[in-house]
């Protein structure tokens, strides 16, 4: 939520590095309730309600190479809704999406729709699909399993799950501990 028009923001903090690289601050962090007209945070590492980070972004709406947020976009994304190369979310759209509903080139999810391949409870693809109920040219047959095994090695799924845990829990813990430190009353 944003502060009401004309009212001062409450418990609002913002930190931005003085050092820059190619015109972008190394870090830009904003937490609390920003003013209504506050622009998105921008930096190599950006954390705020709306964040654009070249390397890492975290916020309600985030965009970055690695992005964590309610709506996350970029390369490796974790969120409620994610769009990117490797999005992991409740609803994921990208090249290699992992989610409750996953849509992309090669998707993994409860409901999975992929162009080349799909794996999931309900898997729909043009070429290869495997899962509880699969629809594709090669669905739940030896050819589909062989192709999917080549493109989705066994370690990949566990690695993606570990990334979800690390990218969603660790930044939130760091953010919470820093916020608690700054809002302690004397």
The answer on 106 and 23 residing in a single domain is no
Alpha-carbon distance of 141 to 118, in angstroms, equals 13
The answer on 178 and 89 residing in a single domain is yes
Q: What is the pLDDT of residue 151?
A: 84
Model confidence over 115-138: pLDDT tens digits?
A: 999 999 999 999 999 999 999 999
**Residue 142: C-alpha distances to residues 5, 111, 128, 129, 147 (Å):** 62, 22, 10, 11, 9
Q: What is the pLDDT of residue 153?
A: 81
The answer on 75 and 107 residing in a single domain is no
Q: Which helix (H) or strand (E) holds 148?
A: helix 142-151
The answer on 89 and 100 residing in a single domain is no
Token pair in block for residue 99: 């989610």
Is the pLDDT score of 5 beyond 60?
no
The answer on 52 and 11 residing in a single domain is yes
- Nearest 5°: phi and psi at 148? -65, -35
Q: Which domain holds residue 37?
A: 1-93+158-186
Strand order in the sheet with 98-125: 13-16, 27-31, 41-47, 50-94, 98-125, 128-135, 138-139
Model confidence over 145-178: pLDDT tens digits?
A: 898 888 888 787 788 778 777 877 887 787 777 7
Model confidence over 73-95: pLDDT tens digits?
A: 999 999 999 999 999 999 999 99
Token pair in block for residue 55: 């390397």
CB 43 within 8 A of CB 54: yes
The answer on 87 and 102 residing in a single domain is no
Q: Judge residue 32's burial from the number of C-beta atoms within 10 Å of its C-beta, 0-12 exposed, 13-18 middle, 19 or more buried.
A: middle
The answer on 85 and 41 residing in a single domain is yes
The answer on 80 and 50 residing in a single domain is yes
The answer on 27 and 6 residing in a single domain is yes
DSSP-derived pairing of the beta strands 50-94 and 128-135: unpaired
Task: State the total domains in the chain.
Answer: 2
The answer on 67 and 1 residing in a single domain is yes
Alpha-carbon distance of 166 to 146, in angstroms, equals 30
Q: What is the pLDDT of residue 8?
A: 55
What's the chain's Rg over C-alpha atoms?
Answer: 20
Q: What is the pLDDT of residue 1?
A: 41
Alpha-carbon distance of 129 to 161, in angstroms, equals 21
């Amino acid at each position: 939520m944003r502060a009401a028009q004309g009212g001062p923001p409450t418990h609002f903090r913002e930190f931005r590095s003085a050092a820059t690289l190619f015109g972008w601050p190394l870090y830009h962090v904003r937490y609390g309730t920003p003013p209504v007209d506050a622009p998105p945070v921008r930096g190599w590492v950006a954390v705020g309600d709306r964040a654009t980070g070249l390397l890492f972004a975290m916020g309600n709406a985030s965009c970055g190479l690695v992005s964590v947020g309610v709506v996350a976009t970029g390369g490796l994304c974790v969120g409620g809704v994610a769009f990117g190369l490797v999005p992991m979310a409740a609803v994921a759209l990208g090249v290699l999406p992992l989610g409750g509903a996953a849509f992309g080139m090669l998707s993994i999810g409860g409901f999975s729709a992929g162009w080349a391949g799909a794996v999931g409870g309900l898997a729909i693809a043009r070429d290869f699909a495997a899962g509880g109920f699969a629809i594709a040219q090669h669905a739940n047959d030896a050819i589909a399993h062989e192709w999917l095994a080549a493109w989705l090695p066994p370690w990949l799924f566990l690695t993606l799950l570990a990334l979800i845990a690390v990218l969603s829990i660790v930044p939130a813990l760091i953010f919470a501990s820093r916020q608690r430190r700054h809002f302690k009353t004397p």
